[in-house]
Structure 1
């Protein structure tokens, strides 16, 4: 299997939105913060110092994730999704490998993420990559979040 991780281009914005909406509607619902980020991801993520990456497999965009800038060397890992038709091919792990390597290359201090403990496979992968649970603030950006994790880079 050959998965290529590619950087954001405006032509991929509809795939970013579609992958995330499908994932959100499967497990939760699209919250207003999600809609804000997905409706115009170039403006709300990339133009604010963040990054979006895609997994390309057999000429199809099959997965994605974003880094939302929190601080100069702190980013939130979010909007990670893999097309259900391609799950089980370790695409999520390829995305995570790229995410951690990108953070290290850029000398970030840490990566944060918000999740939900009902997503057992996701929590397992995050833990496998060294993320540790930290205190969840009371005003989280997502209503569905019941766990916050961080990965210290440097």
Structure 2
């Protein structure tokens, strides 16, 4: 089986929603913020400067993730899901590796993600790829979140603005 990572196309919007809803309903519930992102992914993610990618196993969509723009150079890695049919085949790790390489190629500063500690395997993999736990804000975007992690992609040296000297 050959797995390739492909960018978003409108014809895959239903796959994006289905994979994530399937995953969310297994462990949690679909929150209003999830529903907005999943049901209107082109408007809420793509058209707002974000990205969605898919893992395609031969001809089938096996997994997905999104990069949701928070502000210039800082994106939330979100909505990552792999179909139960394809779990255990390292597709999630392939998606994560692609995500990091893509983000570095964009010269972004960092990636943020929100997760839950019951997802021990996911937290382990994020840590393995360099994500570090950081303090959670008072009102995170997802009620289920009890851990926030970041991956610093480049250390931006603070530059002195000549006008302010």
TM-score class, shorter-chain normalisation, is: over 0.9
Rg (Cα) greater in structure? 2
Between the aligned partners of 2:50 and 2:143, the Cα distance in structure 1 is 22
Between the aligned partners of 2:73 and 2:62, the Cα distance in structure 1 is 28
Q: Which residue is 1:151 aligned to? A: 151
Deviations 1:32-85 (A, max 9, x none): 000010111000000000000000002000100000000110000000000001
Between the aligned partners of 1:57 and 1:67, the Cα distance in structure 2 is 21
Deviations 1:18-44 (A, max 9, x none): 000000000000000000101110000
Unaligned regions of 5+ residues in structure 1, if any?
none
Q: Which residue is 2:132 aligned to? A: 132
Q: Which residue is 2:87 aligned to? A: 87
Between the aligned partners of 1:135 and 1:142, the Cα distance in structure 2 is 15
Deviations 1:80-109 (A, max 9, x none): 000001001100000001000001100000
Unaligned regions of 5+ residues in structure 2, if any?
155-165
Deviating beyond 6 angstroms after TM superposition, the runs of 4 or more aligned structure 1 residues are none
Q: CA RMSD in A?
A: 0.5
Q: Does 1:11 align with 2:11?
A: yes
Between the aligned partners of 1:87 and 1:73, the Cα distance in structure 2 is 31
Q: Does 1:76 align with 2:76?
A: yes
Q: Which residue is 1:59 aligned to? A: 59
Q: Which residue is 2:161 aligned to? A: none
